[in-house]
Structures are given as C-alpha cells and as structure tokens.
Amino acid sequence: MTLGTRPLTAAAALSLTLTTGLLGGCGPRETTQPSAPSSASSPATGGAGGRTFLIGMSQANKGEPWRQAMNDQIAAAAAGHPELSVQFADAAQDNAKQVAQVENFLQQGISLLIISPNEAAPLTDVVAKAYGKGIPVILLDRKVKGDKYTMWIGADNAKIGQEAGKYAADWCKRSARTPCRVIELRGLEGSSPAKERGDGFREGIKANPAVQIIASQNADWLREKAVSVSQAMLQASPNVDVVYAHNDPMAEAAFISAGSAHRDTGKMLFVGIDGLPTPDGGIHSVQAGRLGVTHVYPTGGKEAIDYAVQILEKKQTPPRAVVLPTVQVTKANADAVLKQYGGK
C-alpha cells in the first residue's frame, strides 16, 4: 500500500503527538555513529516527474494497538513528504514471514528499510543483508544482534523497567506488604524490550528487599494469551500483591483474570507499559483505576520518517542511536499526560 497521500486518521493524529514536542520538555537523546554507514540509497524516478523514494516498513505484528499507532504515525509523517512512498508489511509475529517480507522489499529495490523486528536473533541476518547492500536500515523500538544497521530509534526499556520496579517497591512499602509478592507477564522472549524491561524491573525492586518475584511467564505481548497465562499464575499463587506486565494489554488481561478469580483488585497493584492516549489505552486505564501505573512508550514513527528524510534527501549521517523520552503515568498526572499527548 502506498501512503503518500493517505489522509490522517484520528488514531494517526493521536499517535502523532507521542513523539512530537510534547515529551516532558526534553527531546530525544542521540548517540553518534562510530563509523559512517555505506548509505548508497537508490532513488527511483516517479511521481509528478520528481524523484521518489520507496521505503519498506517491516512491522513485527499489526494486531496490537501500539503497533498500529506506530504505523499510523509513520503514514502521517510520510504524508507530509510526497517524494516518499511507504510500503507496509505485517509479519504477524512470525519471524520467517518477516525475513521473507524484508527479502521481498530488497527485490523491489527499496531505498531504505524501517524495521521493528519481531525477535532479535532470527531477523539479524536479513537486516545485515540489507545493510550490506548499502540500503540504510532504521531499527525501530526492538533491536537485532550485532551492529549491521544504520541507526536505532526507541526508548530506554531498561530504564522504564527500573522505574516500574521502583514504583512497585515504593507501593509495597507504603502498603506494608512483607513479603510483597509479584507475578511478571513477560513479552516475547527473543524480543529485546522483554529482556530489558525484565532486567530493569529487577534492578528497580532492589530498593525494597520485601519484594519477591514469585512467578514469571511469557505471554508474548498478547492480551489474549495473557488472559490464560495470568489465570494459571493466579491459581498457582493465592497471594499476589503486584502484577508487572511488560505492556498494558497484558496488564489489562491480568486485571480481568484477577477479578474472575475473586481477588480484591483494589488491594493489588497492576503495572503496565505503553501508555497510549487512545480510549482503550493505558492512560485511560490508570484514570479508571485498573492500572496503578503505566509508562508512555513512544513509537518513534515520526522520528523514523524524519531520519529517513535526513538520510535519503539530505545525505546526512544520522546518529547511531536516538533514545526517546518516556513518562511514568500515575493517577496524579494521568489527566495532564493524557492532555499532553493529545488524548481525550
């Protein structure tokens, strides 16, 4: 699908605000390139006689709201550049499919690849192949192994995990829970944010030795899977104080499971990550009291297009890494953050 002239949807408008100037007053942090990439982009001719650039956007899975927001944001940003056309591919959480889709992009002669890899290791070779061919590669949100890519754009998942852990540690202390039992719903094992969010959380809870992670399971980022996984975890553990989920959809699923298991959800803490400003997003969930805390995790879609323009048209070497700012969202700031991110 070519999206050069696609109108801005409501979701796109909302998600657009995720990484614009509304990020708590501080912009993205940049890391410089160790060495210039061989960015031999190959502009094709087309459009109204001008040069156009075909960008392949390889999405890990479009079934999740946060990923749809990323695509919408890319489409909206690209719509401001008639010389760019973006082709989207949805790997539906299938590594082999995503590899094949990138191969297909290479055959089509894309000028630049944006990819949010489903899992790191299985996508590493095909990303390196694209990069080796001189096609600039922008990794978005999730990483691959090694260094064969042009740049990475995303938020600091270890830091988010750490802040989530600190919040949980404080909550446990405030609520006088000794021990304070945590169950963890993890993202897809081989995806970089799952490891970083898990490790960061473990750092954060060190602030309170009473906090114990009593069970940890993968629910692969998926709300549906998290329903059955959390049901089983709650059944196995009669006393759970905190649910730490690596994203909001899994946290919401655990909230439902806890209610069905007749747990007093008002006395538990549900921790999520994503903080979309949409009606069914995490900020509303904090306002409604289902989640005690979430974290705005910007998609970076707009930045990906900004840097694509810098690479393709201005022939500039981009930073090696761009770290997007995040915000912790609690009842105390949920209204303000929602407003700040353009939600209602």
Shortest Cβ 236–ligand FRU spacing (Å): 24
- Binding part of the chain for ligand FRU, among 48-56, 60-68, 104-112, 284-292 by CB under 6 A, reads 60-68
**Peptide bond preceding 179 in cis form (omega within 30 of 0):** yes
Q: How many helices (H) and strands (E) does the chain have?
A: 11, 14
Q: How far is the CB of 251 from ligand FRU (least distance, A)?
A: 10
Give the nearer residue to ligand FRU in terms of CB position, either 69 or 102: 69
The footprint of ligand FRU on residues 153-192 (CB under 6 A) is 187, 191
Closer residue to ligand FRU (CB): 64 or 72: 64
Rounded-to-10 torsion of CA 276, 279, 282, 284? 130
Q: Shortest CA distance to 297 belongs to which of 221, 241, 242?
A: 221
Instruction: Report in angstroms how near the CB of residue 57 gets to ligand FRU at its nearest.
Output: 14
Of the pair 112, 194, the CB lying nearest ligand FRU is at 194
Site for ligand FRU in 187-216 (CB under 6 A): 187, 191, 193
How many other CB atoms are found less than 10 A from the CB of residue 317?
A: 17
* Residues contacting ligand FRU: total by CB under 6 A: 15
Q: Six-digit token pair at 147?
A: 């260094």
Q: To the nearest whole angstrom, how small is the minimum distance from the Cβ of residue 87 to ligand FRU?
A: 20
Q: Dihedral of CA 10/18/55/98: which sign?
A: negative
Cβ closer to ligand FRU: 166 or 197? 197
Residue 185: phi and psi, rounded to 5, are -105, 115
**CB nearer to ligand FRU: pick between 84 and 155:** 155
Burial 20-43 (b: 16+ CB within 10 A, else e): eebbeeeebeeeeeeeebebebee
Token pair, residue 90, equals 């949805």
When the beta carbons of 60 and 139 are compared against ligand FRU, the nearer one is: 60
Residue 65 to residues 28, 52, 105, 180, Cα–Cα distance (Å): 23, 30, 24, 31
For residues 85 and 218, which CB has a smaller minimum distance to ligand FRU in the complex? Answer: 218
Instruction: Report the candidate in 134, 135, 113 with the shortest Cα–Cα distance to residue 58.
Output: 113
Strand residues in the chain grouped as ranges (E) = 29-31, 44-45, 51-59, 84-90, 112-115, 137-140, 151-155, 180-186, 211-218, 242-245, 269-271, 294-296, 321-324, 327-329
Contact status: 273 vs ligand FRU (CB under 6 A): yes
Three-state SS for 169? Answer: helix
Q: Are 329 and 99 in contact (CB under 8 A)?
A: no
Which region among 7-15, 35-43, 57-65, 101-109 touches ligand FRU (by CB under 6 A)? Answer: 57-65
Span from 62-70, 143-151, 173-181, 202-210 in contact with ligand FRU (CB under 6 A): 62-70
CA–CA–CA angle 250, 251, 254 (5° rounding) = 90
142 binds ligand FRU (CB under 6 A): yes
Binding mask 239-258 for ligand FRU (x = CB under 6 A): --------x-----------
Report the C-alpha gap between 291 and 201 in whole angstroms.
Answer: 17
Residues in region 63-122 near ligand FRU by CB under 6 A: 64, 66-67
Report the residue from 274, 277, 319, 328 that binds ligand FRU according to the rule CB under 6 A.
Answer: 274
Q: Sign of torsion, CA 234 93 11 143?
A: positive
Least CB distance from residue 194 to ligand FRU, whole Å?
A: 8
Which CB sits closer to ligand FRU, 52 or 93?
93
State yes or no: residue 220 binds ligand FRU (CB under 6 A): no
- To ligand FRU, the closest distance from the beta carbon of 154 in angstroms equals 8
Nearer to ligand FRU, 142 or 290 (CB): 142
Residues that bind ligand FRU (CB under 6 A): 60-61, 64, 66-67, 141-142, 187, 191, 193, 221, 247, 273-274, 297
